[in-house]
Amino acid sequence: MTLEGSLDAFSLPDIFQLLSFTKKTGALHITGPAARGVVHFATGSVTGASSDVGRQSLGRRLVGAGLLDDAQLATALDAVANDPALGLGRAAHEAGAVDDGVLHEQVVEQATDAVFDLLRWTRGDFAFLADEPNPDDLGVTLNVEEVIAEGRRRLEEWDALTKAVPAPDAVVSVVLTPSSVETSLAAEEWALLALSDGRRSVAELVRLTGRGEFATVKTLSALVDRKLVTVRRATDTATDSVAALLRRQGELSKLEGRPATEPAEPVAEPVAAKPAAVPDVVPQRPEPIAPRRPDFPEETPARPGRPAASVKVTTTTEGSAAIAPDALVSTLIERDPSVNKSLLLRLIAGVRGL
């Protein structure tokens, strides 16, 4: 059976119901204005879907949920590179990286999110290719009527959600001071808070978490209602609490004479200061330069009745004088009781200091 046409003439719910009624197996390709989607069928039931075949939708969801570490992801990527017909989700399952129950839940949510995205397409073309396999076929089957009903329910809720989150390019920021100190967060809420840095848009959060636009926007809307995040259009000036804090700190920087947008400076570790040289209060006295004295004997005045003694004075290389009394002088000093030994020793010390 050849089934192709335009979304202007046939709605996707009608096409889904036709494929379900006829128990078809294959892939329904939808080409929209900006992307190409696909819905996989097996005997009339949905087994998987993607609103952008250019992305590994299921793989991104697994990575965003923290279900694959680096080694497991590398193993799955190698398997997909060696077999283009293999999806990343099925490669991770075959490697035993993800629990079957958890993986089944992720596949159901991924297919439901994708169908909701496709239901919002009002322009495009479709073509059904019979017997085309699903690269991420993990044995999950979804009833078409239930999938369509969930998609329509989400469409009814969508208008209310987009009031809090106006556009895919809207920027999300975390509130600096929440109204409630004790706040419990679900895992998906915590993940969005961690990624909301005041620069990422809603579309970027959808891509990073891999959870689909409806689930991401719904979680963001709940966080906005709880005053934990703020959402502004990309063209609007930042008015969130973090931007206000930066603006106010910038005003203080101006008062301090600093640039208003000065970068954060790293705190340098204190370096031990070298002790400053303390100048001498009194300049150091230079070494005295003693003149070289001639080497000749000096006559000692003779006392009455005693012969004159001579003392030999020599000058050392350091400039100090050394006195070498001869044997006669030594004998006179020791034997003559009239010699003042103390006075003589002081005189000798004075001569040495010259």
Taking each continuous run of H as one helix and of E as one strand, the counts in the chain are 12, 11
pLDDT in tens, 225-253: 888 888 887 776 655 556 666 666 666 56
CA gap 202, 200 in Å, rounded: 7
310 three-state secondary structure: strand
DSSP run (H or E) holding 237:
none
CA gap 275, 327 in Å, rounded: 58
Q: Is the pLDDT of residue 350 over 90?
A: no
Q: What is the pLDDT of residue 313?
A: 44
Q: Is the pLDDT of residue 315 over 60?
A: no
- CA angle centred on 65, ends 61 and 70, rounded to 5°: 90
Q: What is the pLDDT of residue 24?
A: 95
The domains located in the chain, with CATH, are 3-155 (no CATH), 165-254 (1.10.10), 297-353 (no CATH)
Q: Are 214 and 222 in contact (CB under 8 A)?
A: no
Strand 197-201 to strand 229-232: parallel, antiparallel, or no bridges (unpaired)?
A: unpaired
Confidence class of residue 268 from pLDDT cuts 50, 70 and 90? Answer: very low
pLDDT in tens, 101-114: 999 999 999 999 99
43 three-state secondary structure: coil
Tell whether the torsion through CA atoms of 198, 200, 201 and 205 is positive or negative. Answer: negative
CA gap 100, 156 in Å, rounded: 32
Q: Tell me the backbone φ, ψ of residue 117, rounded to 5 degrees.
A: -60, -45
Report DSSP state, residue 245: H
Query: What share of the chain in percent tops pLDDT 70?
Result: 64
* Number of residues written out for the chain: 354
DSSP per-residue letters across 71-131: HHHHHHHHHHHH-TTS-HHHHHHHTT-S-HHHHHHHHHHHHHHHHHHHHT--S-EEEEEET
Structure tokens at 154: 């989400």
CA gap 148, 168 in Å, rounded: 24
CA gap 62, 59 in Å, rounded: 5
Q: Which amino acid is at 348?
A: I
In order of 15, 30, 315, 336, the CA distances from 11 in angstroms are: 7, 11, 125, 145
Nearest to 39 by CA among 146, 150, 116, 149: 116
Q: What is the pLDDT of residue 28?
A: 96
pTM (predicted TM-score): 0.61
Query: Across residues 315-335, what is the average pLDDT?
Result: 49
